[in-house]
Structure 1
Amino acid sequence: MKNFERDNSIDLIKWIALITMIIDHFWYILTPELQEPFRWMRTIGRLAFPLFCLAIAANVYRQPIGYSGGLKYLGGILLFALISQQPYSRFFEGNYLNILFTLGLGFLIAQAVHQRTATLIAAGAVALAITVAYRPIVSYGLAGVLLPAALLAALQARVIETRIVTWSAAALLAVLANTGAGILLLPDLPAKALAGISVAALAPLLGLALLQARVRSIKPVGKWMYPIYPIHLLLLSSLSLAWL
């Protein structure tokens, strides 16, 4: 990860995040009598968001100082965030912004932490302010938006004690992003809920192990991943209607 060539291990992380996200979303279209036996799909799905955040952090970490391609990357995220909002709202029937908005805000903050230019620091501050202002409708909340920057700090850590602290902080943010205020009920949560929390907490460490893996060949996850997000939501919505 010392140069800006393509890193197959990051593609592996993206593939796992993408597949576990689709598994998680597929659970929602199961009939009520099937949802409980297939609750494991929701548990596996807790890997998706932290791994997406780690992919962002790893790509930012690999950027040379002064790299100017971040704006194009952010533009792609925000464009498909806008395109995906209607399918997302239709599928989940809520008032939340879709995950791409969260990842876009998190990317800006991570960029500010890494590049530390006046412009990006200002952009990161604006992203943080937007998150706080719209926190009730931001998917995964403030913890989710801060997770890419926390994972970036963990990747940048060199001293073993700092690594332990930063990766522990990232694991905590991953849990908070998935549970929110529900973490206060931790002692009273059922075993299945605790399993999901454990998976979310372990996701950053799993991602770290995957980053160290030597992946010789894997299909790259390119720009096609952006349209996959709204398309899979539309397909799942259609399946849900077909089964009614």
Structure 2
Amino acid sequence: MTQASAAASRPARPSSAWTSWGQWLALITMTLDHVARYLATDAWGMGWVDSSVGRIAFPLFAGMVAWHGLFNTRDPLRYARRVMVIGLVAQLPYHLMPREAIFQLNICFTLGLGLMAGAWLDRLTTRMESGALGQARLALETLAIAAAWYVAGFWVEYGHEGLLLVPFFMLAIGQLHRSGDAFMARLEAVSACLPILLIAGLMNSSDMAKSVTVATTLVVLLLAAGACRLMPPSPITMPRRMWLAWYPAHFAVIAAILLATGQAALR
């Protein structure tokens, strides 16, 4: 098969218009979750936020990172590094949030490291088919990835389960996008969705939080299965600077309020 015919046989890149809605929803639900968790008192009556709308943000962020890593960037590793640069900027105000852990890396590191693992997983089949990856090299790389996942899982937000969300999203979304109309292809695509749904169900403790996380994951998978074609772009495009700055900026505001009220976790 020539390069031209191989390119013609690949599925067209799917529409990413839905991510313009996803950006607004992810920032709003994340901010509500953090306000309810770190600032709200019992008198505010926001205790329900953490186990409901607050559980939308992380799987939605992970789904969008996986989507862009597959379809909208030529270099997923560079994209992952940009995500973690945002995490570095946000780490100091994030560290001031009251929590049990003495030290924890914020969600940008969870997403960035997950994207690195997902990029490795996405290229694995191609490298094996081309003969560029022998069995010994595959075993060595797999061992290194597993060791990094085990160690990093103790230090990042959402832990070991969170680190698996982006690579499993990439596995499922990629399979759904590439699958044709044949029964076996559809069956393989459905099978590829099972790991991400399992992880989404394991990530939280309460039934409400589990349900919201799994439902959000299912919506992203439905978009990958073709529903993305039905989504128009958001009428209000989020400014790029706002998208990049909101995560560290909103933590800085919360940290300033906590410092002013003497509630910051000075460790």
TM-score bracket relative to the smaller structure: 0.7 to 0.9
Q: Equivalent residue of 1:91, what SS? A: coil
Instruction: Give 1:223 shift.
Output: 5.4
Gaps of 5+ in 2: 1-10, 180-184, 263-267
**Counterpart among 51, 75, 82 of residue 76 in structure 1:** 82
C-alpha distance in 1, partners of 2:47/2:150? 32
Question: 2:23 matched to 1:14?
Answer: yes
Q: How many residues are matched?
A: 225
Alpha-carbon RMSD across the aligned residues, in angstroms, is 2.9
Q: Distance in 1 between matches of 2:47 and 2:252?
A: 22
Superposition deviation, residue 58 in structure 1: 1.2
Deviations 1:112-165 (A, max 9, x none): 12233569x888865543231132222112221111121122222323333333
Contact 2:77-2:119 within 8 A present in 1 as well: no
Larger radius of gyration: 2
Aligned ranges 1:19-38 → 2 under 5 Å: 19-34=28-43, 37-38=45-46
Note if contact 1:153-1:166 (Cα within 8 Å) is conserved in structure 2: yes
Q: Which residue of 2 aligns with 1:195?
A: 208
Name the structure where helix makes up a greater proportion of residues: 1
CA distance, structure 1, for counterparts of residue 147 and residue 239 of structure 2: 31
Instruction: Please give the alpha-carbon distance, in whole angstroms, between the structure 2 residues aligned to 1:151 and 1:7.
Output: 15
The answer on 1:108 being equivalent to 2:107 is: no
Q: Is 1:175 matched with 2:201?
A: yes
Q: Hey, what's the Cα distance between the residues in 1 that align with 2:145 and 2:20?
A: 26
Partner Cα separation in structure 1 for residue 91 and residue 13 of structure 2: 35
Identity of aligned residues (%): 25
Q: Please give the residue correspondences for 1:1-244 in structure 2 after superposition, counting only pairs within 5 Å.
A: 2-3=12-13, 7-34=16-43, 37-42=45-50, 43-62=52-71, 68-93=74-99, 94=101, 95-116=103-124, 117=127, 126=144, 128-155=146-173, 156-157=175-176, 158=179, 159-176=185-202, 178-179=203-204, 182=205, 193-210=206-223, 212=227, 213-218=230-235, 219-220=237-238, 222=240, 224-242=242-260
1:131–1:138 CA contact under 8 A, matched in 2: no
**In 2 relative to 1, CA 175–214 (structure 1 residues): closer, same or farther, beyond 3 Å?**
same
Q: State the SS of the aligned residue for 2:172.
A: helix
- Post-superposition shift, 1:80? 1.6
Does the C-alpha gap of structure 1 residues 235 and 50 become closer, same or farther in structure 2, counting only changes over 3 Å? Answer: same
Structure 1 residue ranges without an equivalent (≥5): 183-192
